[in-house]
C-alpha cells in the first residue's frame, strides 16, 4: 500500500493499535504509538495523533485514558466492548449455572 493510502486509514490503524496493545496494565507512550504507526508505514506527529484519539473517543466511544508516570504521558484503553464470541460465552456460562441444560454437563 502506498504511503498516501496508509495516511487515509491512520485513524483505524490507531484504533487497532490501542485496542490490541493497551489496557490498564499495558500503556503506550506517544513515541511508542508513533513507532507502531510507522510499522504500518504511517507517518504522524504527536499533535495529529492526539486529535485522532479525541475523534476515537467521540465517534467510536473509546475509553482512552491518559496518565502521567514520572515525566512520561501514557495512553491506554480502559474499557472495551465485548466481542460476539465473548458475549455468547458469558450467556452460556450464565445459563449453565442457573438452569439444567444437557450441553452444560
> pLDDT, tens digit, for every residue of 57-77?
999 899 999 999 999 999 999
- pLDDT (0 to 100) of residue 4: 65
pLDDT at residue number 102: 60
**Interacting residues of 42 by C-beta distance below 8 A, sequence separation 6+:** 3, 6, 7, 9, 10, 13
| pTM of the predicted model as reported, rounded to 2 decimal places | 0.76
Residue bearing the bigger pLDDT, 4 or 28: 28
Average pLDDT over all residues of the chain: 88
Cell numbers 465473548: residue: 86
Residue 9 has which C-alpha cell?
486509514
Q: What is the pLDDT of residues 16-35, one digit of tens each?
A: 999 999 999 999 999 999 99
* Residues paired with residue 75 on neighbouring β-strands, in sequence order: 28, 66
Can you give the residue ranges of every domain in the chain?
Answer: 3-80
Structure confidence by residue, pLDDT tens digits, 30-51: 999 999 999 999 999 999 999 9
**Residue the block writes with cell 491518559:** 66
Does domain 3-80 fall under CATH 1.10.10.60? My reply is: no
pLDDT value, residue 98:
65
The three-state DSSP-derived secondary structure of 10-52 is HHHHHHHHHHHHCECCECEEHHHHHHHHHHCCCCCCHHHHHHH
At residue 86 the predicted structure's pLDDT band, cuts being 50, 70 and 90, is: confident
Q: What is the pLDDT of residue 100?
A: 60
CA distance 14 to 68: 20
Amino acid at each position: 500500500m502506498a504511503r498516501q493510502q496508509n495516511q487515509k486509514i491512520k485513524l483505524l490503524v490507531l484504533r487497532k493499535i490501542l485496542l490490541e496493545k493497551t489496557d490498564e496494565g499495558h500503556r503506550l507512550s506517544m513515541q511508542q504509538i508513533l513507532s507502531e504507526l510507522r510499522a504500518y508505514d504511517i507517518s504522524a506527529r504527536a499533535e495529529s495523533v492526539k486529535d485522532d484519539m479525541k475523534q476515537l473517543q467521540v465517534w467510536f466511544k473509546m475509553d482512552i485514558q491518559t496518565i502521567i508516570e514520572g515525566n512520561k504521558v501514557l495512553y491506554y484503553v480502559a474499557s472495551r466492548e465485548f466481542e460476539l464470541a465473548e458475549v455468547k460465552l458469558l450467556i452460556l456460562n450464565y445459563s449453565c449455572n442457573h438452569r439444567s441444560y444437557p450441553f452444560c454437563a
